[in-house]
């Protein structure tokens, strides 16, 4: 990501991360230690599993001390999700899994690449997708950055994606500064481009126009939520769980909203014409 | 065991008889892999399904958006090859190229669910998300990954990383989800490209111009020696075609690599981050897999 993240990934800030704030607010006491927090907690009268990635200053891998997805984060996310799948293997009603998303990037490091960061992240993807296929309502709640490979590993396999409409929440493939460098544009030019090229924009409102969010939650302070605001979020999560239980367990719902029909028209057209050509033989 | 080692003797005659796979474009690669005469392209260049986003940025489109869908047969069985064209935008995944791959895997899943097995092969040659289509590339990659996890339960999903671009970004996760991965010595598999790591973490973390170091970390030989891929092959059409067919003949592995959570957490716990390098990893990984 940006040059500033170069230092921040080695020295996490001392104030609580968004992932920690929202884990504390919604789940309470964690049953695991950083970098991956998980716990069962009540959500509108039923038990749900909450999972969050938080900074881990004591992390053995020095490039993964911040709220990033590194080797341990990826495998431990997979471990936490698979524990829920196993616990509910014979349950008729599968418990919801809530991924609290505040991940600024994947870990950038030599050791990470050598030891298979791609596989660690894939293990998390696999676990979340498997939970969804097993009938668990998987809900992602974006409370901070949801960046690139880190979001793929933690949140993007969810049945439903919710986000707080608050400063600092964003979904993107690459940090703003790095994207400007790589595409050889100034930050101003990059922002201007986002006005017309919706998938390149950094605002959550632009992301919402792609039809990938099921709910952009308004009026909640992401850093210091009041108990009333926490209740708003709980209600949104609970509604998303109920909604997910009614829908298919694949990701096809992401292409059905009016927003998707407008701004992912090519994704829909590819599927329509491929289905025609596939049959014609 | 789920790991297949496909090693071939490099005799003088064999070297002379080789036909480079790396030098072929995506369409030719797909044609070369499928049974002779069975290749039929879907959503080809004449369908003109192009990126809606690149022209808005003054970038010339390609009529297939850099992804080739080839229906055909492998060993007489219905198959589809998804080939990414590295010559167009570095094999990056945009809305259309990503949708072509995701939609095909979704269709194959429906065929398999209806009892009509189709063998899916993905030729990874990609740096990951196309930055000019950022969030729609990322969304498509999430859908590709979802489709691989679902499809893998019915039929092996076989991935090939031939080179020279390699397989990076979100697509490296998609590759890691495949039932079997075949790589050449020239191939590389990793999440972040070396240049990205140097830029984000500094040259002291990784010197991206040190080719020997890069290949010792993420090159095909190292990946094969540590079980992160299943087969190491020469850059040869016949060898790659044979390795793909052998993978399907083997059937689905009992456990996918990405499902072996306890195994890899255990290995990771034994790593000394201060001393780990390619050689140390080979020793540790192979000792543990006994």
How do residues B92-114 score in pLDDT, each as one tens digit? 999 999 999 999 999 999 999 99
Same domain, A188 and A278: no
Note whether A78 and A202 are same-domain residues.
Answer: yes
Q: State residue B156's pLDDT score.
A: 98
| Chain B residues touching residue A281 (CB < 8 angstroms) | 40
Percent of chain B scored above 70 by pLDDT? 94
DSSP B90-134: GG-B-HHHHHHHHHHHHHHHHHHHTT---EEEEE--B-SB-GGGH
For chain B, domain boundaries: 12-259, 261-290
Q: What is the rounded CA–CA span in Å between residue B263 and residue B146? A: 23
Residues 6+ apart with CB under 8 A from A254: A211, A212, A260, A264, B139, B143
**pLDDT, tens digit, for every residue of A125-140?**
999 999 999 999 999 9
The reply to whether A56 touches chain B by the CB within 8 Å rule is: no
Query: CA–CA separation, A53 vs A55, rounded Å?
Result: 7
Dmax over Cα atoms in chain B, in whole Å? 55
Which member of B190, B260, B262 has the closest CB to residue A118? B190
**Minimum mean pLDDT range among A21-25, A254-258, A276-280:** A276-280
Number of cross-chain residue pairs from A and B with Cβ atoms under 8 Å apart = 247
Q: Is A204 helix (H, G, I), strand (E, B) or coil?
A: helix
**E strands, chain A, in order:** 36-43, 46-53, 97-103, 138-147, 160-164, 170-172, 215-217
A256 and A227: one domain? no
Give pLDDT, residue A192.
Answer: 87
* CB-CB neighbors (< 8 A) of A127 in chain B: 261
Chain A residues close to B202, C-beta within 8 Å: 6
Same domain, A13 and A134: yes
A219 SS3 class: coil
Number of compact structural domains in chain A: 2
For A148-192, write each residue's pLDDT tens digit: 999 999 999 999 999 999 999 999 998 888 888 877 889 898 888
Q: Do B261 and A119 touch (CB under 8 A)?
A: no
Task: Please count the other Cβ atoms lying within 10 Å of the Cβ belonging to residue A224.
Answer: 9
Residue in chain A closest to B52 (alpha carbons) equals A266
Same domain assignment for residues A118 and A235:
yes
- How far off is chain A from B10, nearest CA to CA, in Å? 27
- Which 3 state secondary structure label does DSSP give B207? coil
In contact, B5 and B231? CB cutoff 8 Å: yes
Fold classified for B12-259 = 2-enoyl-CoA Hydratase; Chain A, domain 1 (3.90.226)
Say whether both A78 and A204 belong to one domain: yes
Judgement on whether residues A210 and A277 belong to the same structural domain of the protein: no
Q: What is the mean pLDDT of chain B?
A: 94
| CB A141, CB A102: distance < 8 Å | no
Question: Taking phi first (over 0 means left), then psi (-120 to 50 degrees means alpha), and beta for anything else, what does residue B48 get?
Answer: left
Do residues A72 and A198 both lie within one domain?
yes
CB-based contact, B162 to chain A, within 8 Å: no
**Residue of chain A with shortest Cα separation from B138:** A173
CATH number at residue A227: 3.90.226.10
Sequence-ordered list of residues with C-beta below 8 angstroms from that of B123, at least 6 positions apart, any chain = B26, B29, B30, B33, B81, B82, B83, B84, B159, B160, B162
DSSP designation for B60: -
What is the pLDDT averaged over residues B40-54?
Answer: 96
Same domain, A172 and A274: no
| pLDDT the model gives residue A2 | 38
Q: What is the pLDDT of residue B111?
A: 98
A281 pLDDT more than 70: no
Residue B265 contacts residue A79 (beta carbons within 8 Å): yes
The encoded tokens of residue A11 equal 């020295």
pLDDT at A75 over 60: yes
Give me the mean pLDDT over the A196-210 stretch. 93
CA A207 to chain centre: 13
Does A6 score more than 60 pLDDT? no
Query: What is the pLDDT at residue B18?
Result: 86
pLDDT tens string B126-179: 999 999 999 999 999 999 999 999 999 999 999 999 999 999 999 999 999 999
A29 touches chain B (CB under 8 A): no
What span, in angstroms and rounded, lies between the C-alpha atoms of A110 and B198? 9
User: Which residues form the domain of A99?
Assistant: 3-250
Q: Say yes or no: A268 and A209 in one domain.
A: no
Tell me what the mean pLDDT of segment B261-277 comes to: 96
The answer to whether the beta carbons of residues A126 and B258 sit under 8 Å apart is: yes
In angstroms, the CA A104 to CA A177 distance is 13
pLDDT band at B125 (very low <50, low <70, confident <90, very high): very high
Confidence of residue A234 (pLDDT cuts 50, 70, 90): very high
**In 3D, which of B131, B31, B40, B38 has the Cα closest to residue B83?**
B31
Do A258 and A176 belong to one domain? no
Q: What pLDDT is stored for residue B258 in this prediction? A: 98
Q: Is the per-residue pLDDT at B4 higher than 50?
A: no
Distance CA B45, CA A115 (A): 39
Q: Which of A192, A143, A152, A196 is nearest to A172 (CA)?
A: A152
Query: Does the pLDDT at position A222 exceed 60?
Result: yes
Please check the confidence at residue B7 and state whether its pLDDT lies above 50: no
- Interface check for A179 against chain B (CB to CB < 8 A): the answer is yes
Q: Cα(B104)–Cα(B120) distance, rounded to whole angstroms?
A: 9
Read off the pLDDT of each residue in B37-48 and give the average, rounded to a whole number.
96
Are residue A225 and residue A246 in the same domain, yes or no? yes
CA distances A101 to A149, A200, A215, B219, Å, are: 12, 20, 15, 32
Q: How far apart are CA B57 and CA B89, in angstroms?
A: 14
User: Six-digit token pair at B80?
Assistant: 């589809």
Q: Where are the alpha helices (DSSP H) in A88-175?
A: 110-114, 117-133, 148-153
For residue A11, pLDDT beyond 70: no
């Amino acid at each position: 990501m940006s040059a500033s993240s170069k230092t921040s990934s080695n020295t996490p800030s001392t104030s609580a991360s968004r992932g920690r704030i929202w884990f504390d607010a919604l789940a309470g006491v964690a049953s695991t230690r950083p970098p991956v927090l998980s716990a069962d907690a009540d959500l509108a009268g039923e038990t749900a599993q909450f999972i969050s990635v938080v900074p881990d200053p004591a992390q053995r891998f020095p490039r993964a001390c911040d709220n990033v997805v590194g080797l341990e984060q990826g495998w431990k996310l997979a471990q936490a999700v698979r524990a829920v799948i196993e616990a509910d293997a014979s349950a008729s009603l599968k418990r919801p899994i809530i991924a609290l998303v505040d991940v600024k990037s994947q870990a950038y490091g030599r050791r990470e690449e050598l030891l298979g960061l791609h596989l660690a992240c894939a293990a998390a993807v696999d676990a979340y997708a498997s939970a969804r296929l097993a009938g668990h309502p998987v809900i992602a709640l974006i409370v901070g950055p949801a960046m690139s490979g880190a979001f793929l590993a933690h949140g993007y396999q969810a049945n439903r994606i919710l986000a707080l409409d608050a400063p600092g929440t964003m979904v993107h493939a690459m940090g703003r500064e790095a994207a400007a460098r790589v595409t050889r544009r100034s930050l101003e030019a990059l922002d201007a481009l986002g006005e017309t090229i919706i998938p390149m924009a950094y605002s959550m409102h632009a992301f919402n126009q792609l039809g990938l969010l099921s709910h952009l939650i308004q009026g909640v302070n992401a850093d210091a939520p009041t108990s009333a605001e926490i209740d708003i979020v709980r209600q949104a999560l609970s509604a998303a769980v109920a909604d997910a239980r009614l829908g298919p367990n694949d990701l096809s719902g992401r292409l059905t909203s009016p927003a998707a029909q407008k701004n992912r028209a090519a994704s829909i057209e590819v599927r329509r014409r491929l289905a025609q050509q596939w049959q014609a033989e | 065991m789920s790991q297949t080692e496909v090693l071939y003797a490099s005799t003088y005659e064999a070297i002379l008889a080789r036909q480079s796979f790396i030098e072929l474009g995506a369409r030719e690669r797909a044609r070369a892999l499928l049974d002779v005469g069975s290749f039929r392209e879907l959503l080809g260049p004449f369908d003109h399904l192009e990126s809606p986003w690149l022209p808005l940025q003054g970038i010339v489109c390609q009529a297939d958006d850099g992804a080739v869908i080839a229906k055909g047969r492998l060993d007489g069985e219905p198959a589809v090859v998804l080939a990414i064209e590295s010559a167009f935008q570095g094999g990056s995944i945009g809305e259309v190229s990503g949708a072509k791959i995701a939609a095909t895997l979704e269709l194959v899943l429906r065929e398999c669910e209806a009892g009509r097995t189709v063998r899916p092969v993905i030729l990874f040659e990609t740096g990951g998300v196309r930055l000019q289509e950022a969030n729609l590339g990322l969304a498509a990659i999430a859908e590709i990954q979802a489709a691989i996890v679902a499809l893998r339960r019915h039929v092996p999903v076989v991935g090939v990383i031939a080179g020279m671009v390699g397989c990076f970004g979100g697509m490296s996760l998609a590759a890691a989800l495949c039932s079997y991965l075949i790589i050449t010595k020239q191939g590389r598999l990793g999440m972040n490209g070396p240049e990205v790591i140097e830029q984000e973490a500094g040259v002291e973390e990784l010197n991206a111009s040190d080719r020997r170091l890069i290949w010792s970390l993420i090159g095909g030989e190292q990946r094969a020696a540590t079980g992160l891929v299943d087969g190491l092959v020469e850059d040869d059409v016949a060898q790659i075609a044979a390795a793909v067919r052998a993978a399907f003949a083997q059937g689905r592995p009992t456990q996918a690599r990405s499902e072996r959570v306890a195994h890899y957490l255990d290995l990771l716990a034994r790593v000394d981050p201060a001393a780990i390098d390619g050689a140390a990893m080979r020793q540790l990984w192979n000792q543990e897999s006994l």
